[in-house]
Amino acid sequence: MNCNSFKHCFLFLAIILVILFNVTVQAESSRELYDIEGTVMLPSLKTSWLAETVVQLKGGEAVGFLRKNGSFLISKVPSGSYIVEVVNPNYFFEPIRIEINSKGKYRARKVNYIQSSYVHHMPYPLEFVNYMPAKYFYSREQWKVTDFLFNSMVNFQHQFYVLDIIISHLPFNF
């Protein structure tokens, strides 16, 4: 009798697990998936530019690649709010926030981290235009005469001497 009740308990738990699994699978399958599409305006028609460019959704959670005409498609995205970024080592593109509601309506706007209440709507399908070339290094500051004149390590006699030489070489007289 004890063995029989154990079988019934095990069978009952197995049925409950199967029912719960079916409910979660149905909930996930009833959730619709959408596509995010757009174009990236090419600064040049080099094929290497296409290979170096990636369109990221949510920091790389989903990735899209460019076609030859500059269009992209990120498929199987559930409804929600996402930030779409175009990543290229030579150019910088502004990110765009896209919101997909449960009915499948798209709303795109510029990302503004400073003024989050300010909303600037963008057209859909998305259009990315290169904002500026990527700048990794600063240009070296050039030496100027004023750097020498206002340097505290140079005494006043030398400064006046240099200033006198500069004034004497000017094309006009004071």
Domain coordinates in residue numbering, the chain = 1-30, 32-133, 138-168
* pTM of the shown model: 0.61
Per residue in 88-131, pLDDT tens?
888 888 999 999 998 889 999 998 878 777 888 888 889 988 87
- How far, in Å, CA of 110 to CA of 10, rounded? 55
Per residue in 35-90, pLDDT tens?
999 998 876 656 677 788 899 998 888 888 888 888 999 998 998 999 999 998 88
Per residue in 145-169, pLDDT tens?
777 667 777 666 666 777 777 778 7
Q: Which of 82, 77, 63, 72 is CA-nearest to residue 35?
A: 77
SS3 at position 89: coil
DSSP 118: -
> What dotted CATH number matches 32-133?
2.60.40
Residues with Cβ within 8 Å of residue 77, at least 6 apart in sequence: 33, 34, 35, 36, 57, 62, 100
